[in-house]
Structure 1
Amino acid sequence: MIQQLKAPRTRGLRNLTVEAVSPLAPLATVPEKPSLSLLIQFDFNSARVRPESQQALANLSQALQSPELLGSNFSIEGHTDAKGRSDQNQKLSQQRAHAVSDFLKKWGVAEARLVATGKGASELANSADPFAPENRRVRIVNLD
């Protein structure tokens, strides 16, 4: 968990020279931020974390409090599958993100380090099957 969420080391920019860029030069892609997707089980149509997922969240809280991650802030993203109305999925994903954030806070992660957001079904993990269980997940993203 720690390695997946750890921000990559970057080089300083001192003594960096910039060459002129031609108009047809390809743009550099921005690397994705370190993240981890967890299949957290919730009761149906509920934000209550099921007991079988509590150990995974306890492990996550320990990882977030490790020396390697202690200085980082994290987004807790709630995701749903495409079943149901989009407004309901958005609300449910937000509630689930808050439930995970609340769990992490109870286990000692500082509230100031966590931002809970709901994504609904807007970013499916499995777009080929919008109703697949892997779409119902919580994603942890290192914001630093």
Structure 2
Amino acid sequence: MLKKNLLTSATLIGMGFVPLAQAADQFLDNRWYVAPFASYVETGGDRKAADGWGGGLGVGKIIDEHFNAELRGFYQGFGGTNGPWDLAGGTADLQYYFFRDKFSPYAVMGLGAMNTCASANCGVGFIGEAGLGVSYEVADNLLIRSDVRYRYNNNFNAHVQSGTDEFHDMTVNLGVVIPFGEKPKYVAKAEPYIAPPVDDCSTRDSDADGVNDCLDKCPGTIKGATVDHNGCAVRLILKGQHFKYDSAELTEKAQGILDDVAGSLIAYPQKNDIEIQGHASSEGTDSYNMKLSQRRAHSVLDYLKMKGVTNNLSAKGYGETQPIADNATEAGKSENRRVELIWIEE
């Protein structure tokens, strides 16, 4: 009954502390250690012996976050109806830690050999152990450790005890673990560095004005404008049917274009003065064309002002004095009927 209670308690201890696990980012401890211990032995009924005491020493190494390997030697003694019993042996243990923390539960399995003497009868046999335990870290170089183990012993016909060569014992071990050297510190796992994408402005021209963004000092250039080497507008020609016939009244199409012009001038202001020039084809008299081009230039100026443009604007009519195409053709005349915005250099 005591065996069952001890195993049950050890199992509950191990399971109860599993939720307390705190996974280290990176486990670095791989020190060697020594582990002296004392033992209480509850003997099986097959030995016909009393319970007893003993002790031993383990030498081990921390392998990784979960495993320790350890060699243990021990001596245990107790009385019995067939004389005093003396057990001396050793095991190679593998310990599995559910997690490493100040309080760390583990499971253990060990294989080894043991010399058993009952009075004058002695024999060497095989032992196998399995159990559960816990360790408590007092300091970096000192831990208290205890485990409960079931031990199976087979003496292979040595006849140490008449009637059987198989024995079943329970051991409770309590001792300390003394690691050698300084305890390594846990370090966070380094996340791989991913370099941000290179923003190569030399290959980008956001406002499509022909000047890359690295050199463009005037972003948001008005579409269709001629720019200088800094990407700043110097000239914008408004061609097409922008006025009603023989009138300075803007068409809806012209108003839409000027809305875009005004929006760009407000969003990306160039503080230069702007001259609005009106030009005409050769149809009609010089005097009439001069006055019409002047009125059309003023019409554009008034519209831009109404839209909130804050640049210093001036309007001037040039009539038919500055053609850009041949007035002998209808296509040429259409080219010459235009309004130009000229940015005055400061």
Q: TM-score range by the shorter chain?
A: 0.7 to 0.9
Q: Which has the higher helix share?
A: 1
Say which structure, 1 or 2, has more relative contact order (CA 8 Å, 6+ apart).
1
User: How far off its partner does 1:70 sit?
Assistant: 3.1
**CA distance 1:77–1:53, shift in 2 (3 Å):** same
Does 2:259 align with 1:55? no
Q: What are the Cα deviations for residues 39-88 of structure 1, in whole angstroms up to 9, with x where unaligned?
A: 25111111000112111011111122233x33111000001111000000
Query: Contact between 1:7 and 1:34, CA under 8 Å: does it hold in 2?
Result: yes
Q: TM-score, normalised by structure 1?
A: 0.73
Q: Hey, what does 1:15 align to over in structure 2?
A: none
User: How far off its partner does 1:6 sit?
Assistant: 5.0
Q: Hey, what does 2:234 align to over in structure 1?
A: 34
Q: Hey, what does 1:114 align to over in structure 2?
A: 313
C-alpha distance in structure 1 between counterparts of 2:278 and 2:321, whole Å: 11
Mapping of residues 123-142 of structure 1, within 5 Å? 123-127=322-326, 129=328, 132-142=333-343
**CA distance 1:36–1:129, shift in 2 (3 Å):** farther
- Aligned residues: CA RMSD: 2.2
Q: Hey, what does 2:295 align to over in structure 1?
A: 95
Q: Which has the higher strand share?
A: 2
SS at match of 1:65: helix
Query: Which AA in structure 1 matches 2:328?
Result: D
Q: Hey, what does 2:86 align to over in structure 1?
A: none
**CA distance 1:71–1:6, shift in 2 (3 Å):** farther
Q: Hey, what does 1:74 align to over in structure 2?
A: 274
**CA distance 1:120–1:130, shift in 2 (3 Å):** farther
Runs of 4+ in 1 over 4 A off after TM superposition: 5-9
SS at match of 1:117: strand
C-alpha distance in structure 1 between counterparts of 2:318 and 2:255, whole Å: 22
**CA distance 1:51–1:72, shift in 2 (3 Å):** same
Q: Hey, what does 2:176 align to over in structure 1?
A: none
Query: Which AA in structure 1 matches 2:259?
Result: A
Structure 1 alignment gaps of length 5 or more: 10-32
Q: TM-score, normalised by structure 2?
A: 0.32
C-alpha distance in structure 1 between counterparts of 2:247 and 2:287, whole Å: 15
Q: Hey, what does 1:44 align to over in structure 2?
A: 245
